[in-house]
Amino acid sequence: MKGRYPSVIETTSRHPLVRIKDSGRIFETDAHGRGLLSHPRLNKGTAFSEQERKALGLTGLLPPAVISPQSQADRIYEQYQRQPNDEAKQVYLTALQNRNETLFYRVVTEHVEEMLPIIYTPTIALAIQHFSHEFRTPQGIYLSIDKPDDIEVSFRNSGFTKDDIDIVVVSDGERILGIGDWGVGGINITIGKKTVYSVAAGIYPRRILPVVLDVGTNNKQLLEDPLYLGNRHERVTGEAYDRFVEMFVSAVERIYPGVLLHWEDFGGQNARRLLEKYKNRLCTFNDDMQGTGAITLAAVLSSVKASGVPLQEQKIVIFGAGTAGIGIADQIRQAMERSGMSAADAAARFWCIDRYGLVVQGAEGVTEVQKPYARRPEEVEGWQGRGGKEGISLVEVIRRVQPTMLIGASTVSGAFTEEAVREMAKGTKMPVIMPLSNPTEKSEAKPDDLLNWTDGKALIVTGSPFGDVEYNGKTYKIGQANNALVYPGIGLGTVAVKASRVTDNMLTAAAEAVASKITHNKPEDPLLPGVHELRSLSRHVAIAVGQAAVKEGMAPGGLQAQDVERAVDKAVWQAEYPEIHPLG
């Protein structure tokens, strides 16, 4: 793809000039000697050839042996394994990333199953919490609400211009993973997302720009921490917040026109509002809402296939009708509507339970987004708990409704009790049960219990990673609804075809692409692909997303559906060292 690798970039670290030729296989640079070794994109360490060492002023600066990239990777892995705990491993890998980017991506790609939980969730949560204490090398862009006029200059200082960037990942750090408000430490979630884009989908790391919007923090612990590196005041909200975000979005549009803007870990209210405000104005995507929606829809579609009960006939209980629960319900409902059901008939397939029990029209605490799913009072007349303080319980709903699918997004550990699950198994042949709450200790149920209580019949997808389960002499693999299975492919497909928007159809295509990879021949087969398939899965998702974009007219004219596969493959970067020559 023309223009993918810019011919000359001036980067900020020590300002070397780099000319990239031959689809990224040859770099020419004016960096040399120690300056070259300290540049993470150019550094090859002991893998510099004799010729390169001579030509680039490296003679005497490295041990004499010239080492192959594979044995470098092996040495790194050995050092990695010697780290005492997960956080030390995370710090070790970040240091490698800042020292030798290609080697970092090579090693992580090679050990993706083992290292994804270190560079991404759950270990990244520690890196975010300890950001101000562990801070070493700055990465990404820091924008402060106290200095909105610096937005433009901050982007310019990055050294990247309009052809250099494909994706901007932004967070305001308000609702990080399951750990809440971590202020400026939110930069680490955007860096983690960037890394996973490259590891999973092969998007060139330098073409992704992580950004944090520091609007303050309501986290007292941070405000009182003398080492805290962010703005030391409460979160700015309301008009001033909106004005700052608008200035940021306008600057992105001006400086990086056509870029994909990825929103990450904003507070629930802001996430929804900002996506609504900007989704028809530029190419943009909210991973917490849309990525989550796509991966859970994928889980639903593959469990529908496995259970043999068509989507239109599923009876779905959502336990925990908050941001994720309702987002998931919306996504499934839209899929039902696309298959020809009316909006009312589709909504009638759901029973939502929140902290006041079953959501019933006119009852206390029903939120705006829950209203489409609220059951009519006459339907639940005589149900146990009706009118009481606790409301109608999960067990009562299961007893009355005999659902086929139970989805948990409540953060209530152990909420899927033995009684509830056994009751569910009575009413349906293969109960689909998805305890999606994170982290692991908040999961609504454990897979081994679910299998025991349903005599091995349950079709299970979890939110947190669980190991294989031995049941009745068989090994059950448990699929995990991990956004990393889907968002990198959505990003790759979008940028490969230069789509102007991320549409619902593109997201559905992503979900269907993931589900199509599943063949559930035996009860013990997983309902979602595993992390070891990440690279090929992301390619598959990207092609489906790119084709959906072309079909909808979101890609530039001239691009045909049959061109998408080639465009995707051309956009993929492999973590291999380029030849490096002095700039001539």
Task: Please identify, among the stretches 59-67, 215-223, 275-283, 433-441, the one whose residues bind ligand NAI according to the rule CB under 6 A.
Answer: 433-441
Give me the least distance between CB of 158 and ligand NAI, in Å please: 31
**193 counts as binding ligand NAI under rule CB under 6 A:** no
Nearer to ligand NAI, 69 or 325 (CB): 325
Q: Which residue is nearest to ligand NAI (CB)?
A: 322
The least CB distance from residue 178 to ligand NAI, in Å, is: 5
Q: Is 15 left (phi over 0), alpha (psi -120 to 50) or beta?
A: left
Distance (Å, whole) CA 288 – CA 263: 8
- Whole-number Å distance between alpha carbons of 337 and 339: 5
410 binds ligand NAI (CB under 6 A): yes
Which residue of 201, 209, 271, 324 would you call a contact of ligand NAI, by CB under 6 A? 324
Nearer to ligand NAI, 72 or 121 (CB): 121
Please list every residue from 217 through 276 that binds ligand NAI, using CB under 6 A. 268
The enclosing H or E element of 194 equals helix 187-196
Question: Taking the complex as a whole, how short is the minimal distance between the CB of residue 29 and ligand NAI, in angstroms?
Answer: 42
Q: With respect to ligand NAI, which residue has the nearer C-beta, 94 or 296? A: 296
CA distance 402 to 152: 57
CA–CA distance, 248 with 251 (Å, rounded to integer): 5
Tokens of 355: 């902290």
Q: Which of 136, 143, 126, 131 is nearest to 228 (CA)?
A: 131
Q: Please pick, among 120, 228, 373, 471, the residue that the annotation labels catalytic.
A: 120
* Contact between 300 and ligand NAI per CB under 6 A: no
Q: Which of 89, 193, 315, 446 is catalytic?
A: 193
Provide CB contacts within 8 A for 45, sequence distance 6+.
Answer: 37, 62, 67, 72, 99, 100, 103
Nearest to 336 by CA among 368, 309, 354: 309
Reading the block at residue 332, the tokens are: 């499934």
Q: Is residue 241 flagged as an active site residue?
A: no
User: Which residue among 40, 140, 186, 325 contacts ligand NAI (CB under 6 A)?
Assistant: 325
CA dist 267 and 322 (Å) reads 12
Q: Looking at 26-34, 348-356, 506-514, 532-540, which segment touches ligand NAI (CB under 6 A)?
A: 348-356
Under the binding rule (CB under 6 A), the answer on residue 582 touching ligand NAI is no
CA distances for 314 relative to 347, 395, 414, 584, angstroms: 11, 18, 24, 66
Task: Classify strands 459-462 and 432-435 as parallel, antiparallel or unpaired.
Answer: parallel
Residue 289 near ligand NAI by CB under 6 A: no
Report the residue number, 55 or 412, with the smaller CB distance to ligand NAI.
Answer: 412
| Residue 511 Rama label (left phi>0; alpha psi -120 to 50; beta) | alpha
Exposed/middle/buried for residue 525 (C-beta within 10 Å: 0-12, 13-18, 19+): middle
* Binders in 353-392 for ligand NAI, by CB under 6 A: 353-355
Tell me how far CA of residue 288 lies from CA of 62, 299, 326, 369, in angstroms.
Answer: 45, 16, 13, 16
Q: Is residue 120 annotated as a catalytic residue, yes or no?
A: yes
Q: How far apart are CA 426 and CA 66, in angstroms?
A: 66
Q: Which is nearer to ligand NAI, 291 or 578 (CB)?
A: 291
Task: Return d(Cα 273, Cα 61) in angstroms, integer.
Answer: 54
By CB under 6 A, residue 192 contacts ligand NAI: no
Q: Does 396 bind ligand NAI (CB under 6 A)?
A: no
Residue span binding ligand NAI (CB under 6 A) among the ranges 8-16, 106-114, 249-257, 405-413: 405-413
Stretch that binds ligand NAI, among 53-61, 86-94, 183-191, 430-438 (CB under 6 A): 430-438
Select 119 or 407, whichever has its Cβ closest to ligand NAI.
407
Give the one residue of 140, 267, 463, 578 binding ligand NAI; rule: CB under 6 A: 463
* 283, 436, 528, 554: which one binds ligand NAI (CB under 6 A): 436
- Measured from the CB atom, is 58 or 328 closer to ligand NAI? 328
Amino acid at the residue 104: F
Under the binding rule (CB under 6 A), the answer on residue 15 touching ligand NAI is: no
- List Cβ neighbours of 13 (8 Å cut-off, separation of 6 or more): 38, 39, 40
Sole residue written with tokens 């489409």? 372
Q: Does 295 bind ligand NAI (CB under 6 A)?
A: yes
Number of residues engaging ligand NAI in binding (CB under 6 A): 25
Quote the CA–CA distance of 192 and 483 in Å, as a whole number.
Answer: 13
Tokens (6 digits) for 376: 């009519």
Q: Does residue 481 bind ligand NAI (CB under 6 A)?
A: yes
The correct pick among 438, 494, 503, 538 for binding ligand NAI (CB under 6 A) is 438
- Smallest separation, CB 365 to ligand NAI (Å): 8
Q: Is residue 507 part of the contact set for ligand NAI (CB under 6 A)? A: no
* Separation between Cα atoms, residue 548 and residue 513, nearest integer Å: 11
Kindly tell me which residue out of 178, 427, 530, 582 binds ligand NAI, with binding defined by CB under 6 A.
178
Q: Which lies closer to ligand NAI via its Cβ, residue 322 or residue 546?
A: 322
Q: Which of 205, 267, 322, 578 binds ligand NAI (CB under 6 A)?
A: 322
Q: Which is nearer to ligand NAI, 52 or 288 (CB)?
A: 288
Residue 138: asked if its preceding bond is cis (omega within 30°), the reply is: no
Give the active site residues. Answer: 120, 193
| Residues contributing to the site for ligand NAI (CB under 6 A) | 178, 268, 292, 295, 319-325, 353-355, 409-412, 436-438, 442, 463, 481, 483
